[in-house]
Chains A and B, each alone.
Chain A
Amino acid sequence: MADAPKLVNITVNGKKTTAPAGTLLIEACKQIGIEVPSFCYYPGLSLQGACRMCLVEIEKMPKLQTACTTPVAEGMVVNTESEKVVQSRKAMLEIVLANHPLDCPVCDAGGECELQDMTYTYGAAESKFIDIKSHRDEQQWSPVVFFDRPRCILCYRCVRVCGEGMDVWALGVQNRGQGSVIAPNKQDHLECEECGMCIDICPVGALTSGSYRYKTRPWEMNHVGTVCTHCGDGCLTTVGVRRSDTGMEIVRCDNRDKSGINGDFLCVKGRYAFDFAANQERITQPLIKRDGKFVPATWTQAIELVADKFKQVVQKDGPQAIGVIGSNRTTNEENYLLQKFARLVLGTNNIDHHRTADFPAFAKAISENKARTASMRDVFEAPAVLLIGNDPTEQHPLLAWQIRNNVRLHRSKFYIVNSQAIKLRRQATQFVQIPTGAEARFVDFLSGNDAAAGTLTQAGASNENLSQLRDALKGEQNLVVIFGSELRGADISALVKFAAPQNAKFICLGDYANSRGAADMGLFPDLLPGYATFAGAARYQQEWGADVPALVGMDLKQMFGAARDGKLKALYVVGSNPVSRYALDPFVLQAPFVVVQDMFMTETAIAADVILPAAFAYEKSGTFTSTCGDLQMLRKAGDVVSVKSDFEIVVRIAEKMGYDVRKLVPFGKGLRADMGQSRGAQSGEADRHSVWLQARGLEPKVSPFDPLATLDEIQRLIPGYDVSQINLVSGNDEHTQLVQIQNASIPSHPELVVPSNDTLFTSGTLGRYSTVLNSVMERRATGKEVAAD
């Protein structure tokens, strides 16, 4: 570690202060609460010095200086409010406004425009120019990016964020001086990652979003911070919602307030792929299959039918004849509740989910080696990063962003071992290409087996490269090791064993928003929440006040096998599509009674007897665990009448089956009551539950549909989850460590891991129903202009 830079003394507007040498004057002023206006300066991006809004007066300097490019120096005396500075700001704004169309009433940025704010605060009220303003028509650069040239104030933030931040370099500048204009990389359109970062960072409304433009105005929406529902990286996103005929419509997603691990980053999915919520094909009514056809039913009918059937099967064929499949996209509380439902209400351990990474093996490796997991923040700060397998640019966009910016801003070292020439190699200190499927052998080589090197060299890496890399890695302290689903089972143990002595931290990459949570919450036939084996069931039985069934259950594939053999009589699938993900035969689902909880008519849902329409992540509250183990809280933003959260559906089925809901959800215990947070109080929605609750003699404020009560229980039972709830509620992320309470060896089933293979523009079922993602992909396929909606 370098020594901390020495402090220098400066005086700003008569206030004396100190700042580390090398700090930019604009930042030093910010530290003591003095705002220096700026357009082109953006923390984390290269300095531009283009807009001249930040001019300040510095003693002994003949001219005004740009605070955004001037580092502080000992004894500097600065005035940010002198007559001269005020005049120059006015003049700068007048020049910026000279050609600005002033179409604020129709501009998307109106109400959250930095130019508007500056003009109000620092500007002159009238324009002295009488010449006609030059006009250019708006251009559509891609399905999601529109450019309105006259509004551009040439701050070059978009160019820099696309190049430096995204490493896409799709935007550039043509011409010089007054005539400068921002231009896309392909003449009249963009070919890029469509992340929308340029739109987000544009201080004015020059770049606008295809999905949001002209829809509404910022102050007309409610803004609710929640967690992205797509990949496993756990970006925080601010969802803008507006009342509509069918509830609360989601109008846009961004993270302009830079809260959360992702700062202002969102990828194309996080920013645009929320439109599936309003897709025409979304199921918004319970459906019951009668004579091979789905007929709409009421919730009461559907839940009664499901509860009756489940009860019948348990009584007649025994609990082993029911299987439950959970989801990678439902909240921790829902997953936890679901496994509790399976184990206590149904009495079976037949519960599983679509596994996209071998988390049990990871948990085992971490606890055996007393190693630690890395948070997404660690990736940005680590002095060195090793990536084995996976392609984060496509599958973990935030992770890729963190790595890129760590390399760019902190000069960290970055090593890649991959079978493909993935894009991140452009940031790599060393990139070693190995044959497809050889990741495990590479780990073997790392662990000291030199013979393995021979099989790794076909794809271009030489023996020398490999040993070089191994030596370099051995010398790295505080390394962050990231690996994809290519590594499973014992290979994970070997890798952790190799790097743990150097104080390394680890990340195991799972694919969906809550894949890690689903595993942590025990959606396994042989593991309880927190990867506890049945040998350690006593703690759980004590907390639950009921016995955990002793028999190890069937995994997902075995359930389908049992269905084929006629042994499985009922299957309960929550937010999952195993038929398509595991390429299983849907015909085996004809015999058992199948209940599917989903948003869309998936390949699995078609085979169902009852479909219950479920709310998705933006329409409920709870917590998600990112693939790194960062725990964050979801808040209810959108709403569609007549769909219910998975949490509520499970509780209602249990209640109808005659189970005491107080045993299922520990509501009313502890300090906190649900004052409506979990039911969308933020979006101003009426309490839809109160009638049901009052009819059952329950106080509406203490609700069994309160996921936070379940979170309390999760925190009591799973050691790593014992983090500050206050922090979670206030929107912060809390890293959960994989702490093991018992030393029994954790069973792992590498063969059940099936990666989702999503790209930057796909996202399982949700992606298929997103108009924006589809139009982006269509446009990439044909190279033609396709409107977003």
Chain B
Amino acid sequence: MGFLKNVSAIAKGMSITFGEMFKPTIVENYPDGPGPLRGAVFQERFRGMHVLQRDENGLEKCVACFLCAAACPSNCIYIEAAENTEENRISGAERYAKVYNIDYNRCIFCGYCVEACPTDAITHGHGFELATLNATNLVYRKEQLLAGVPAHVGQNVVFNITEAAKQKMITK
């Protein structure tokens, strides 16, 4: 009986193996696939490189509350806060992040920062091509993390970006 049991178990296993051989392949064709993602496909919940979001007016959502930095288990978020002024309004509240760095040498993509953020400013994007030969490149600055300005906002909003950057945006 023992012998039969073993044979049937092997047969069952092999049937799955052989069955798979005739099904279509579901391995992604990255990086040779089509489109900007070059064939990469993600689950919606995939936690990739962070994106700092903007609100509907194009202002930064981050109010520099430091909660993400406090929640981060690997201590890789560095923030310097500054106050918004009438002439230079960057976020919706009184304070904004003058400096916002994430050190991807250390980030473990746990998502705690996203959990902690009271304004839904920091989110995980799907960016994953972070590999580099120089570790200092892995410290991402706010400018690299910020989401683009929403299209409908156009050039009507006074941004806090440099004059040159504004010009570039308008001409784009």
Contacts and interface: CB of A to CB of B under 8 A. Distances in A.
Interface of A: 103-106, 110, 138, 213-217, 219-220
Nearest to B78: A243
Contact of B93 (A105, A110, A216): A105
A205 to B, nearest CB: 11
A106 B80 CA distance: 13
A213 B70 CA distance: 19
Contact of B119 (A105, A213, A215, A220): A105
A219 B94 CA distance: 20
20 contacts: A103-B93, A104-B65, A105-B93, A105-B118, A105-B119, A106-B63, A106-B64, A106-B93, A106-B94, A106-B95, A214-B82, A214-B94, A216-B66, A216-B80, A216-B81, A217-B66, A219-B70, A220-B66, A220-B69, A220-B70
Contacts of A103: 93-94
B49 interface: no
A215 B79 CA distance: 10
A214 B95 contact: yes
Nearest to A243: B78
B53 to A, nearest CB: 15
B65 A105 contact: yes
Q: Which of A104, A138, A217, A219 is packed against the most chain B CB atoms within 10 Å?
A: A217
Contacts of A110: 65
A216 B70 CA distance: 12
Contact of B65 (A106, A138, A215): A106
Interface string B54-69: 0000000001111101
Contacts of B67: 105
A220 B67 CA distance: 10
B103 interface: no
A244 to B, nearest CB: 9
B82 A217 contact: no
Contacts of A214: 64, 81-83, 94-95
B81 A215 contact: yes
Interface string B75-92: 000011111000000000
Closest CB pairs A-B (n = 9): A105-B65, A214-B95, A217-B66, A214-B83, A106-B93, A105-B118, A106-B95, A106-B63, A106-B94
Interface string B117-137: 011000000000000000000
Given A103-B93, A106-B63, 10 more contacts: A105-B63, A105-B93, A105-B119, A110-B65, A214-B95, A216-B66, A217-B81, A219-B66, A219-B70, A220-B70
Interface in B85-117: 93-95
Contacts of B119: 105
A655 B119 CA distance: 58
A786 to B, nearest CB: 16
Contacts of B66: 216-217, 219-220
Nearest to B95: A214
A103 B94 CA distance: 10
Contacts of A105: 63, 65, 67, 93, 118-119
B170 to A, nearest CB: 30
Nearest to B92: A106
A138 B93 CA distance: 12
A418 B79 CA distance: 53
Nearest to B69: A220
B113 to A, nearest CB: 14
Nearest to A148: B94
Nearest to A219: B70
A440 to B, nearest CB: 53
Contacts of A220: 66, 69-70, 79
A763 to B, nearest CB: 27
A220 B81 CA distance: 11
B94 A217 contact: no
A216 B80 CA distance: 7
A103 B119 CA distance: 11
Nearest to A110: B65
A106 B81 CA distance: 10
B83 A217 contact: no
B81 A138 contact: no
A193 B64 CA distance: 32
A485 B119 CA distance: 58
Contacts of B63: 105-106
A217 B109 CA distance: 24
A592 B125 CA distance: 67
Nearest to A103: B93
A214 B64 CA distance: 9
A204 to B, nearest CB: 15
B83 A213 contact: yes
Contacts of A215: 81
A214 B96 CA distance: 9
Contacts of A106: 63-65, 93-95
A16 B67 CA distance: 43
A217 B65 contact: yes
Contacts of A216: 66, 80-81
A103 B92 CA distance: 12
A213 B81 CA distance: 10
Contacts of B70: 217, 219-220
